[in-house]
Amino acid sequence: MSDILAQIMETQREQLPKAKRRTAEADFRSFPGYEKVRIPFSTSLKLESTVSVIAEFKRASPSKGDIRVHANVQEITNQYIQNGASALSVLTNEPYFKGKREDIEQIFSACPIPILRKEFIFDPWQITESRAIGSDAVLLIMAALEFSQIEELLYAASEEGLEVLLECDHVSHIEKLTDLRDRVRVVGVNNRDLKSFTMDQDAGLALLEKIPESYVRVSESGHKSTEDLKKVHDAGIEAVLIGTSLMHAENPGEELSNLLKYNT
């Protein structure tokens, strides 16, 4: 596990007992988002002729610092929806990304595309919380979890009707996919090295190409040009996750629309 990832996970473990005292797991069943009809995440990312984009909302990150700290989640995600996003990713981590779970609660009822909750999840309580706030899918990071935890969390997600984006960053992670059988449909690779924070899209694509085509494969991080998306498309990868370049743009929706012109 990288230093920054270890630090984030340590903070999560310190904060979770307080969160559990504030909200019992059973109480989540009374949240409006708990009864939401889920929108299929994996199906939404399978487009015939173009790369699907998971457009991300975040206010800050450990690598970039403050990005758009006063951003309005409804305004920006509406721009994404209107300009071709296949799914949304919403950072809810507060200490490192200045997110909050209320960001998803504000948008889920009127959102026509699936919402991925981007959070550092290690406990089934967080899975139930993710359903309760209106998420359709959650992120699980293999580098941050033991294999037994991944299995437990995949089971919890299935029980709550949520799909998973399983993030791999090593060939050894891909080798373990066979043990997860049909419990995972979407697999991602982060182009950012979580230890050095260097970006290497070619290395990320090379790792993605080792993942069987039966999965929806997602190239995460660093995409900021039509050339980047064309490279992903030409490699046969189904989807990308884009956050920083969109959030830095004056008009994030217009920037997304421009990126999607890579195949014109």
- List the chain domain ranges: 3-18+40-263
Task: Report the relative pairing of strands 115-118 and 186-190 from DSSP bridges.
Answer: unpaired
What is the rounded distance in angstroms from the CA atom of residue 180 to the CA atom of residue 211? 13
**Do 99 and 93 touch, CB atoms closer than 8 A?**
yes
Which residue numbers are catalytic? 56, 58, 118, 167, 190, 220-221
Residue 12 confidence (pLDDT) above 70: yes
Placement of tokens 């700290």 in the chain: 69
Q: What pLDDT digit, counting tens, does each position of 218-229 carry?
A: 999 999 999 999
What is the rounded distance in angstroms from the CA atom of residue 83 to the CA atom of residue 254? 7
At 191, phi and psi to the nearest 5? Answer: -70, -15
How far is C-alpha 84 from the chain's CA centre? 17
Confidence of residue 194 (pLDDT cuts 50, 70, 90): low
Sign of the C-alpha dihedral, residues 147, 132, 70, 164? positive
pTM over 0.85: yes
- CATH architecture, range 3-18+40-263: Alpha-Beta Barrel (3.20)
pLDDT at 200: 83
Look up residue 53 and give its two tokens.
């984009």
SS3 state at 91: strand
Q: What pLDDT digit, counting tens, does each position of 164-177 carry?
A: 999 998 899 999 99
In the chain, the percentage of residues whose pLDDT exceeds 70 is 97
Confidence of residue 48 (pLDDT cuts 50, 70, 90): confident
pLDDT at 2: 56
Look up residue 76 and give its two tokens.
């920006």
**Do 204 and 171 touch, CB atoms closer than 8 A?**
no
**Do 256 and 244 touch, CB atoms closer than 8 A?**
no
| Residue of 96, 73, 56 lying closest to 244 (CA atoms) | 56
